Amino acid sequence: MERESLRESESMAIEVRVPTMLRTHTDGAKKVHGEGETLRELLADVERRYPGLGSAVLDEGGKLHRFMNVYVDDEDVRFLGGVETPLSDGIEVSILPAVAGGS
Amino acid sequence: MTRAAIDGRLDLDRETFDALVAHARSDSPYEVCGLLAGSNGAVAGHYRIPNAARSMTYYNMDPKSLLRALREIDDAELDVLAIYHSHTHTEAFPSATDVELAAYPDAVYLIVSLQDDEPVLRGFNIREGRITERVLTVGGEELATGPR
């Protein structure tokens, strides 16, 4: 029983950096925690805790939104496994909307 | 339409203004981009972010450089005060693309135009497709708003 609760608290160890415009979903928090073995699971978990946050990252087809970047530590998940990128405890996930424009 | 309702202001120091213009000129005719960090409306940091598009008509902040800059800004307990880019051949007003892609409603979008000999800097908020213009001051002096 004790072992089980320990494991559960360890699996909460994924830190998610939230960009300013999505902090309306987190009561202003810059960082939140979630769990999941893949990015898709993590996003589903943070969506349960902070409705609107996880879903903002994905398009209607459940893929990464074209203008959203997600980093696992220093790596762009587009170059890892996209939403199926495996995650492990202690990593940091950053959500980063693209900053772009034109003249 | 290159005129928008005036709403709010942004105070810059002369050094920041000069740095923005110098950055814009440094890679002309390509667009440059970057961030100003600050707290309570005062500039406390300037980040030049590489334009991954290296285009005369488009900018896309290099995501990795953006990631690092935003981490630093967050860790220093600062805010993204302004997001700037240059227009090398058009006026300092948000283009349709700028409006479509504006994802940071709290930031001031600064545009440096180099289309005339004298550089023009204007600042805007872009929220849900609506543009409002900020009055900019540089070293306490008000810059003109509206089209030139």
pLDDT over 60 (residue A98)? yes
Report CB contact under 8 Å: A98, B53. no
Bridging pattern class, strands A92-97 and A75-76: unpaired
Report CB contact under 8 Å: A100, B74. no
Report CB contact under 8 Å: B33, A19. no
Which is nearest to B93 in space by CA: B78, B77, B113, B107?
B113
Backbone angles phi, psi at A24, to 5 degrees: -60, -25
Give long-range contacts, CB 8 A cutoff, 24+ apart: B23-28: B23/B48, B23/B86, B23/B112, B24/B86, B24/B88, B24/B112, B24/B114, B24/B119, B25/B114, B25/B119, B27/B51, B28/B86, B28/B88, B28/B114
Mutate to test the interface with A, among B36, B54, B59 (most CBs of A within 10 A): B59
**A1 contacts chain B (CB < 8 A):** no
Of the listed ranges A11-15, A85-89, B107-111, the least confidently predicted one is: A11-15
> Tell me: the pLDDT tens digits for A38-66?
999 999 999 999 999 999 999 999 999 99
- Which chain B residues have a beta carbon less than 8 Å from that of A97? 103-104
Of B33, B53, B67, nearest to A71 by CB-CB distance is: B67
Of B70, B101, B105, nearest to A100 by CB-CB distance is: B101
Query: In terms of pLDDT, which residue wins out, A38 or A13?
Result: A38
Of the listed ranges A1-5, A26-30, A71-75, B128-132, the least confidently predicted one is: A1-5
Report CB contact under 8 Å: B101, A98. yes
**Which regions of chain B are under pLDDT 50?**
none
pLDDT at A99: 95
Name the pTM for this structure: 0.89
> Tell me: the pLDDT tens digits for A18-33?
998 899 999 999 999 9
pLDDT at A6: 47
Report CB contact under 8 Å: B64, A76. yes
Q: List the 25-54 stretch of A: residues with Cβ below 8 A of B.
A: 30
pLDDT at B1: 59
pLDDT over 60 (residue A15)? yes
B60–chain A nearest CA distance, Å:
4
Is residue B4 within 8 A of residue B133, CB to CB? The reply is yes
For this complex, say whether ipTM is above 0.95.
Answer: no
